[in-house]
């Protein structure tokens, strides 16, 4: 997700600094951006010149200190509240009082992330959809402390990036994942109970409800680890047993079968598709 967000920002003319834990991960991120830009130029949706200029605007950095001069930070690390809170605490220290700190979280409380900082009025949820360069929506979520100014700046950025905005209250899973992920979880229950095969569940939902991708294929694309984390946030946050994660989903994650990015989830993927999962 981070690579996709960096890519669209750079394509629109913004200077971008990507941060990750190691030079290797940053190299992989740059590779996926190059590949995605190449695909867009081959399809004719982007000129070669724009793609080259975009690549020239992206720098990489392994230390969060490198974000000292950033106007806007969009955090997109794993869906883990403790890790995100930690990162927001550090970002709070290294960035200026004017920096907006946005999270691409799929489900975690923006109010909690804001409370980890000394400037919660500048913290907001900015939830891009996957794959970022192709999907039109950005879901914005205001925490208890988020100021109107931060919201307007974030909306302005989303629109500048060519996205449409849907606004959600700061509730577990916000709007999109409150609806989507329980559907995916239910598909896992159907698979676990033998109600149908993975292929039939996906075919049923594709052809029967006009979804471009069946829920199990979509889960592999999102990442089963991310889906499971979101179900846990819904279950804990809303306290209703209807949100309990399906044991089969938990078991696939325990096995390391986290979907397309790992080469195996509900389905098996070759190397080419694994790389595609990151673009």
Ligand X SMILES: NC(=O)c1ccc[n+]([C@@H]2O[C@H](COP(=O)([O-])OP(=O)(O)OC[C@H]3O[C@@H](n4cnc5c(N)ncnc54)[C@H](O)[C@@H]3O)[C@@H](O)[C@H]2O)c1
Q: Give the Cα separation of 179 and 173 in Å (integer).
A: 8
State the minimum distance, in angstroms, from the CB of residue 193 to ligand X: 26
Tokens representing 87?
């990162």
Q: How far is the CB of 249 from ligand X (least distance, A)?
A: 15
Letters for 161-190 (x = contact with ligand X by CB under 6 A, - = none) are ------------------------------
Query: Residue 139 Cβ, how far from ligand X at the closest point, in Å?
Result: 9
The reply to whether omega before 131 is within 30° of 0 (cis) is yes
d(CA 189, CA 248): 7
Q: Is residue 25 a contact point for ligand X (CB under 6 A)?
A: yes
According to the binding rule CB under 6 A, does residue 238 interact with ligand X? no
Residue selected from 14, 30, 77, 175 as contacting ligand X according to rule CB under 6 A: 77
Task: Give the torsion through C-alpha atoms of 65, 67, 69, 72, to 10 deg.
Answer: -150
Q: Are 124 and 169 in contact (CB under 8 A)?
A: no
Check residue 226 for interaction with ligand X (CB under 6 A): yes
Among all chains, which residue has been given the structure tokens 């990507």?
18
Minimum separation from the CB atom of position 227 to ligand X (A): 9
Instruction: Provide the token pair at 120.
Output: 């919660």
Pick between residue 222 and residue 249 the one whose CB is nearest to ligand X: 222
Which of 9-17, 30-38, 197-205, 220-228 is the region at the interface with ligand X (rule: CB under 6 A)?
220-228
State whether residue 173 is helix, strand or coil. coil
Residues contacting residue 14 through CB under 8 Å, at least 6 positions apart: 57
Q: List residues binding ligand X (CB under 6 A).
A: 1-2, 20-21, 25, 76-79, 83, 87, 104-106, 127-128, 130, 222-223, 226, 261
């Amino acid at each position: 997700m981070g690579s996709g967000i960096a890519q669209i920002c750079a394509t629109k003319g913004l200077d971008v600094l990507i941060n990750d834990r190691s030079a290797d991960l940053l190299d992989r991120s740059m590779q996926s951006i190059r590949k995605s830009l190449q695909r867009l130029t081959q399809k004719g949706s982007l000129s070669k010149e724009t793609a080259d200029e975009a690549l020239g605007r992206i720098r990489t950095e392994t230390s969060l200190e490198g974000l000292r001069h950033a106007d806007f930070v969009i955090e997109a690390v794993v869906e883990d509240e403790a890790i995100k809170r930690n990162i927001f605490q550090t970002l709070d220290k290294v960035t200026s009082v004017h920096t907006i700190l946005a999270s691409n979280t799929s489900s975690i409380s923006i109010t909690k992330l804001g409370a980890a900082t000394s400037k919660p009025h500048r913290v907001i949820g900015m939830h891009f959809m996957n794959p970022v360069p192709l999907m039109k929506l950005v879901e914005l979520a205001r925490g208890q402390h988020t100021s109107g100014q931060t919201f307007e700046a974030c909306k302005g950025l989303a629109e500048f990036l060519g996205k449409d905005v849907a606004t959600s209250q700061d509730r577990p899973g916000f709007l999109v994942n409150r609806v989507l992920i329980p559907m995916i979880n239910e598909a896992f229950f159907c698979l676990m109970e033998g109600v149908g095969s993975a292929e039939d569940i996906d075919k049923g939902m594709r052809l029967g409800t006009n979804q471009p991708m069946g829920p199990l294929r979509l889960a592999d694309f999102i990442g089963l680890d991310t889906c499971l984390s979101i179900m846990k946030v819904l279950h804990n946050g809303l306290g209703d047993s209807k949100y309990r994660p399906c044991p089969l989903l938990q078991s696939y994650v325990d096995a390391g079968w986290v979907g397309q990015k790992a080469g195996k989830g509900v389905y098996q993927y070759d190397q080419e598709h694994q790389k595609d999962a990151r673009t």
